[in-house]
Amino acid sequence: MKVGVVGKGGVGKTTVSALLARAFAVRGRRVLAVDTDSNPNLGLSLGLDADQTDAIPTVPRSVIVGVRGDVTIEELMADYAVMTPEGVALMSALRVSEAGAGCTCGGHATVRSLLGEALDTETDDTIIDMEAGIEHLSRSGGTLAYADVLVLVMEPSRKAVITAERTIALARELGIGAWIGVGNKVADAEQRTILEALCAEHGVPLDIVLPNSADVTSADRLGSPLGRDVAHDVWATLDDLVDRVLGVAVAER
C-alpha cells in the first residue's frame, strides 16, 4: 500500500505517520516511510537522534528519472534508505539547508516518481509524510498521484476540515479514490462533537479519532518515539487504522 498522510499544518501528520508506519511494521510488514518535509523530523519519531536524522541523504530526482533512471529499487533503498530502531526504513525526499535555495518542486517530483516505481519488490507499505496544505496535490502530475489511499489528519477546527475537503476534491481529480478521515488532538467529548459536526457539514469522513494521550504529547515534545508499553488505547486505534488501510487494498481487488 502507498499511503499519503496529509492535512493542514500543525495537525500532527508526522506523529500520525510515524505511529502508522510502526503499526504496520509490528505486523511483520516491510515498511518504508518517506519524509517530504523541507525541515525533516520524521526520523526523530522513529527512534533516530537529530544528527542521524540530518545525516539521511536526500534522494535526488536524477536517480529515478534522469541519467540514472535505470537504477533498481534495491539499489535505491541501499543508497538512500536508513533502517530506524523502530523497524521502519526511512527516506528523505526534501530538505532546505540554506536560505534562498529556491523551490522544492524537484523533491516533489522525486516522490511522485518514487511512488510510480515497483516498490513492492523491497517494501510492503510506503507511508508518505507530506508537507502541510494541498499544494502537493496541485503540482503537475500531483505528488501523490500514485497513492492508493490518503489519510486525512484533522484537529477539531474548521480550517483543518476545510483543508481535508479541498484535499478530497483534488484527490478525485488525480484519480485517487480512497481516503480515511482521522481526528487528532481531540481533547474531550465536546471537541469530538465539534469535529464530527464540522466533518458532516463539509462532507468529510471522520473514520477514526485517535485518543488524546499525555504520553503522545510528551513523546512529541521530546522528539522521541512513543513507547509500545504506554498509551495502549492509541496503539489499539492505530491497529484499527491499519485494518482500514489494508481494507482499501481488498476492496480494490
- What CATH number is associated with residue 140? 3.40.50.300
pLDDT score recorded for residue 181: 98
Q: Count how many domains the chain has.
A: 1
- Give the angle 181-184-188 at the CA atoms, nearest 5°: 120
Task: Kindly report the three-state secondary structure assignment for every residue of the chain.
Answer: CEEEEEECCCCCHHHHHHHHHHHHHHCCCCEEEEECCCCCCHHHHCCCCHHHHHCCCECCHHHHHCCCCCCCHHHHHHHHCEECCCCCEEEECCCCCCCCCCCCHHHHHHHHHHHHCCHHHCCCEEEEECCCECHHHHCCCCCCCCCCEEEEEECCCHHHHHHHHHHHHHHHHHCCCCEEEEECCCCCHHHHHHHHHHHHHHCCCCCEECCCCHHHHHHHHHCCCCCCCCCHHHHHHHHHHHHHHHHHHHHHC
pLDDT tens column, 188-213: 999 999 999 999 999 999 999 999 99
Could you tell me which residue, 61 or 109, shows the higher pLDDT?
61
Rounded-to-integer distance, Cα 146 and Cα 117, Å = 9
Rounded-to-integer distance, Cα 71 and Cα 67, Å = 9
Rounded-to-integer distance, Cα 116 and Cα 110, Å = 10
| pLDDT interval class at 36 (50, 70, 90) | confident
Dihedral angle at the C-alpha atoms of 157, 160, 163, 167, nearest 10 degrees?
-120
49 pLDDT above the threshold of 80: yes
Give the mean pLDDT of 102-120.
Answer: 52
168 pLDDT above the threshold of 70: yes
Give burial (CB, 10 Å; 0-12/13-18/19+) of 203. exposed
- Which residue, among 156, 120, 112, has the nearest Cα to 7 in the 3D structure? 156
Instruction: Give the residue numbers spanning the domain of 209.
Output: 2-96+103-252
pLDDT score recorded for residue 200: 98
Could you tell me which residue, 104 or 167, shows the higher pLDDT?
167
Whole-number mean pLDDT of the chain? 84
In whole angstroms, how far apart are CA 7 and each of 2, 57, 126, 171?
A: 17, 25, 18, 13
pLDDT tens column, 50-95: 999 999 888 776 655 444 456 677 777 888 899 999 999 999 875 4
pLDDT score recorded for residue 93: 78
CB 136 within 8 A of CB 142: yes
- CA-based R_g, the chain, Å: 17
pLDDT tens column, 227-248: 999 999 999 999 999 999 999 8
